[in-house]
Chain A
Amino acid sequence: MSATDKNRLLMFGNEAIAYGAREAGCAFAAAYPGTPSTEILETFSRLPGIFAKWSPNEKVALEVGIGASLTGTRTLVTMKHVGVNVAMDPLMTFTYTGVRGGFVLVSADDPAMHSSQNEQDNRILAKFAKIPVFDPSDSQEAHDFTRLAFEVSERFNTPVMLRETTRIAHAKGLVTFGEWGEPVRGENFIREIDRFVMMPLYAKPRHTFAEHRTLELQKYSNEWEGNRLELNGSELGIITSGVAWNYIRELMPDASFLKVGMPWPFPAEKARQLAEHCERILVVEELEPFLEEEARIAGIAVEGKKYFPREGELNLDNVARGLYDAGLLGSAPIPVTGEPVIPRPPVLCAGCPHRGIYMALKKVNADVYGDIGCYTLAALPPLESLHTCFCMGASIGNSIGAKLSERDPKHPQVAVIGDGTFFHSGITGLLDAVTSNANVTVVIVDNDITAMTGGQENPGTGRDLMGNSVPSVKIEDVVIALGVKHLAIADTYNYDKTVEQLKAAIKHEGPSVVVARKACALFPKKLKIDPFVVKTDLCNGCAACFRIGCPAISNSGLTTEKGLVIAEIDADTCTGCTLCVQVCPVDAIVPLGDIEEVTA
């Protein structure tokens, strides 16, 4: 954030949400980190008078949030779009019971999959759960809508979703903000069996309640000024929401608009007014044709995805292209493309503790069922030693199913899962491996932090989001408690030993676990031991060091007499993990200090 007027700051959407929640008197927050949602709770945790925590997964975070709301506390729960899938189970019933303290769930969607495995549109999940959803277009609206969402939650007795996208979450805009509200904390839990015990007897009337609530929310949606009708020219009316508003507003400033702030319940009355005023109605929205379908249900003839892409992000270019295709712009924007320039795919960092285990997995030629985290990057060349990635915790189940179904065993069946992901949803998978006596090896790569999202605490860290010391859980204790009979702890900077331990685990009949333990090279502090360099005269060009995929190692531009490429190590990037030294057959990689001494 940056300072300007006292009550006006340049904020990311995520910061604005935290401010809006705090102003609304939100006193409690729980979340699981995930791009692009993570900074909401990080910001909120630094504001006065509140409590905020990471939970092991999104389902637990939502359940913790429900508990807080049931005491009357205003509660915020945040997650990325796919996290809402994990949390759907409690959400689908929480919608029946309703809230005591205002409850806002933030879903941070990631169109274009900048850092995700799919690009689902969670406005659909809000409708499915029968909860109102706000869809802000910039940081100011992210702030204002969050604040309002708490009011709507308590007024209509419903959980509320605030759905943002990457270009809201990670875009900065000026935000006028207000005073901190008095944090609203409840008293104790109040028993109300017929509202909070959702067995059939009590759940049926609560479903009826939810349907009545939807009718009330429809009225609200049609009245609320955030669903804004701007009647200008009568040739064209545009229905839009979220980030798309910015693009279409810039390209067609003179059109009439229904700028939707609450996609569900859809403001059908206002859409009809727009349709009465305009000859033609176009829907411009990112991802799914949500508003488009809602408008059709309301009996309005609209056009939308016919012209605008359903995949990826919208931008000024593809919206202009759609307008041209719809006959609304005189000329098509000419797409400018540059020269193809060498790609820079993301890579495991220099000194990354995951590298050693993937080198070992490649050595034993295992089929590797992967999971979600930095370690997913091992699927890319040159390591290419991770072969599936679906969702948090999927690796272990995938390996069990494949092992139990394979007819002609060729390769060891191995699951790789990170520490944060294991705590998130790997434990039940491992339980299944034990009870089905599946002959799989589960490698738990434990770097003591949730690294991919920027270094958040997890149940193994021993520290919470607020900076307090808390009990930590040891992965091996969990593994043993689940009944695994073969367990090894590997130091992944020791390559030969790691290979040996991995082979022993694979040889074991029944499920085995290797905990590959080493602190992350970036968090909590950046790793730097003594760097190494290549002695050019000794390098034989065998490329063994290239194959470990370290960003510190590159082509020196020199070749051996046989014309093989001689490697070079950038001493600034090298952390001194020594893995390349261990695979070099001719001892050509030496400490930088040795070379400097010689030349001095």
Chain B
Amino acid sequence: MSAAPVNVLIVGVGGQGVILASNILCEVAVRAGLDVKKSEIHGMSQRGGVVTSHVRFGERVHSPLIASGQSDVVLAFEAAEALRFAHEVKLGGALLASTQTLQPPKGPERKDSVKYPEDPLGRAKEVCHGRVVPIETQKIVRHLGNPKVTNTVLLGALSTSLEIPEQLWRDTISSMVPPKTVELNLKAFERGRQVVVVADLTV
């Protein structure tokens, strides 16, 4: 691994499982023998706000925060959040984004100038300096029969962008999810990997 740390920015909406996903990523990096730092914001953001988790790993990591526009990968749990952070992807990096949309509560009284974006991932492609891979997480988890494994699907997608052995991912996930769900989570992980592989073949 090169001297510069790898930067992964995980984004979503409170309650989507961003923090658990970043915990698993950190653990994978630790098991790969790397120095790791992560930083996230608790508190107010838990009340339906935007959640971001900065994860950095490499030989030696100093800053707990990623510089703007320097993320190797932005992993987005929600489509509008993918657009919000699309510019954080560095040249040649990747935005791996769930196609799921979550509308913030909004009535006619709140005449916000900004509306929920139309075709957020299409617009993200215009903004992003790296490739954009849409991931139909809702469709995938419906197939798998459990919406709770969305974050494992996304981790599967993420794993294809990082130089960490696949088996290490599988072992770490197996040890960190409830024992009864290991098989399901490994399936979800595999589905996530396939999405990116297929997308890359069709580019």
Contacts and interface: CB of A to CB of B under 8 A. Distances in A.
Interface of A: 2, 4, 10, 35-36, 114-115, 138, 166-167, 170-174, 243, 245-247, 249-250, 315-317, 320, 333-349, 374, 377, 381-382, 452-454, 541, 543, 545-547, 549-555, 564-565, 567
A249 B62 contact: yes
Interface stretch (B34-42, B154-162, B182-190, B195-203): B34-42
A394 B61 CA distance: 43
Contacts of A349: 47-48
Interface string B144-162: 0000000000000000000
B117 interface: yes
Interface of B: 13, 23, 26-27, 30-31, 35-50, 61-70, 80-81, 83-88, 103-110, 112, 114-117, 120, 123, 127, 176
Contacts of A170: 39-42
20 contacts: A4-B30, A36-B43, A171-B64, A172-B26, A173-B61, A174-B36, A245-B62, A315-B67, A316-B67, A316-B70, A336-B68, A339-B84, A339-B117, A346-B47, A347-B48, A377-B47, A382-B110, A546-B110, A565-B107, A565-B108
A214 B147 CA distance: 60
A337 B87 contact: yes
A338 B63 contact: no
Given A115-B41, A247-B65, A342-B114, 12 more contacts: A4-B30, A10-B26, A10-B27, A167-B64, A167-B65, A172-B37, A247-B63, A339-B83, A340-B114, A341-B80, A547-B109, A564-B108
B87 A250 contact: no
B30 A344 contact: no
A172, A335, A564: most-surrounded residue (chain B CB, <10 A): A172
A555 B107 contact: yes
A340 B80 CA distance: 10
A243 B41 contact: no
Nearest to A381: B110
Contact of A167 (B39, B44, B86): B39
Contacts of B37: 138, 171-173
A593 B203 CA distance: 46
B63 A35 contact: no
B81 to A, nearest CB: 8
Contacts of A246: 62-64
Which 5 interchain pairs have the tightest Cβ spacing? Answer: A546-B107, A115-B43, A346-B47, A316-B67, A336-B69
Nearest to A248: B62
A552 B105 CA distance: 7
A269 B87 CA distance: 45
Contact of B47 (A4, A343, A374): A374
